Each structure stands twice: as C-alpha cells, then as structure tokens.
C-alpha cells in the first residue's frame, strides 16, 4: 500500500494513513503535516541556535519542526579540540544516519574506534547510533557540516 501511495496510484483511507504514520513513528498530523503553520522555515544567520563548550562550537542551521526527520548544523573545532569524551554514548536515536562534510582545516571522524581523516571537500556518511566523535589534529580551526537523518522507527 505504501508503495502505491508513494507512486500516486492510490490515496490511503484515514485508517491506512494512521497505520502508515504509526509504522514510521509519526503522529497522523505529522504525516499529513497538519501541524505546520508554514511551508517555509527560514533561519537567518543571527537566529541560529548556538552552543559552545571545550573548543567546540555548534550552530543549528535548521529549526526543529514537528515530524522533521533531518537536521543540519555547522561545527567549528578549535585546534587540538575534540567532541565528547571516552565512553560517551551515542546521542542519536537508533537507525539515525549522519553525513559530515569537511569545509576547512583538518578533521578526523572517529566511528566505533576507527579513525577517518577528512580534508576540505571530503564527506563521510555513517550510522549515527554508533559511538563517534570528531577531532581537530591541526593548528587552525576545523569547520564542518553535519546532516543527521532520523531512522524510520524509534525503539
């Protein structure tokens, strides 16, 4: 049924739409986007939510919206800084994926204890529910974008 709906071959009944929403871990209003007041969510440079600690600055480029399944953030790591600490648990829900794009500087992404060096322009995608952190082994700031997409199901 879901495949037929996606292809536009059929329209689901309310009961079927409710089942699809439940299967995706969404409310019916989120699935149908009834809880959106606007179809555009603009975030100006001065409106970004910013968090900073221990040489790591995070700027949220997207607003959390009902039913939103992805977020985009820009990160700056000071020289020799790293995110998280040893033994930190993943902060992303099971089934989440993360794509990181190195913008400038030197960046290492450590995923499940495996180190992946990135140069400007490089990108890496991985299961975000694995233990991971970011390191800047360089002498200048490292900047990167992170796009996190939620899994279809929450456990």
- CATH code for the domain in which residue 56 is found: 2.60.120.10
pTM over 0.85: no
Residue range 64-76: average pLDDT? 81
Three-class SS state of 89: coil
Query: Into how many domains does the chain fold?
Result: 2
Residue 37 within any structural domain of the chain: no
pLDDT at position 34: 56
Q: What's the pLDDT band for 11 if we cut at 50, 70, 90?
A: confident
Q: Is residue 115 included in any domain, yes or no?
A: yes
DSSP state of 151: -
Across 6-15, 21-30, 140-149, the highest mean pLDDT is recorded for: 140-149
In a domain, 56, yes or no: yes
What average pLDDT does range 32-50 have in this prediction? 71
User: Same domain, yes or no, for 91 and 144?
Assistant: yes
Q: Based on the fold, state whether residues 125 and 74 are members of the same structural domain.
A: yes
Q: Is residue 87 located within the same domain as residue 13? A: no
Q: Is the domain of 68 the same as that of 118?
A: yes
User: What's the pLDDT at 12?
Assistant: 76
Find the mean pLDDT for residues 85-113.
Answer: 86
Q: Is 119 helix (H, G, I), strand (E, B) or coil?
A: coil
Same domain for 86 and 22:
no
Half-sphere exposure of 65 (CA within 13 A, CB side): 22
Ranking 22-26, 51-55, 61-65, 107-111 by mean pLDDT, the lowest is 22-26
The band of 58, judged by pLDDT with boundaries at 50, 70 and 90, is: very high
pLDDT of 119 reads 97
42 within 8 A of 48, measured Cβ to Cβ? no
**How many Å apart are CA 65 and CA 54, to the nearest integer?**
28
* Bigger pLDDT: 114 vs 40: 114
Q: Which domain holds residue 104?
A: 45-149
149's tokens: 């997409």
Same-domain pairing of 16 and 90? no
Whole-number pLDDT of residue 155: 43
Domain assignment present for 39: no
Q: What is the pLDDT of residue 154?
A: 44
């Amino acid at each position: 049924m879901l495949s037929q709906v996606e292809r536009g071959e059929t329209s689901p009944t309310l009961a079927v739409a409710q089942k699809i929403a439940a299967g995706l871990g969404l409310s019916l209003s989120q699935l149908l986007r009834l809880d959106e007041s606007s179809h555009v969510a603009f975030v100006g440079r001065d409106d970004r939510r910013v968090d900073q600690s221990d040489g790591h600055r995070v700027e949220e480029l997207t607003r959390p919206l009902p039913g939103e399944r992805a977020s985009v953030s820009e990160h700056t790591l000071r020289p020799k800084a790293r995110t998280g600490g040893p033994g930190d648990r993943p902060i992303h829900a099971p089934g989440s994926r993360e794509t990181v794009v190195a913008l400038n500087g030197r960046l290492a992404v450590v995923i499940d204890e495996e180190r992946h060096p990135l140069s400007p322009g490089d990108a890496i995608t991985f299961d975000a529910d694995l233990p991971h952190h970011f390191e800047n082994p360089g002498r200048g700031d490292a900047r990167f974008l992170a796009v996190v997409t939620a899994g279809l199901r929450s456990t």
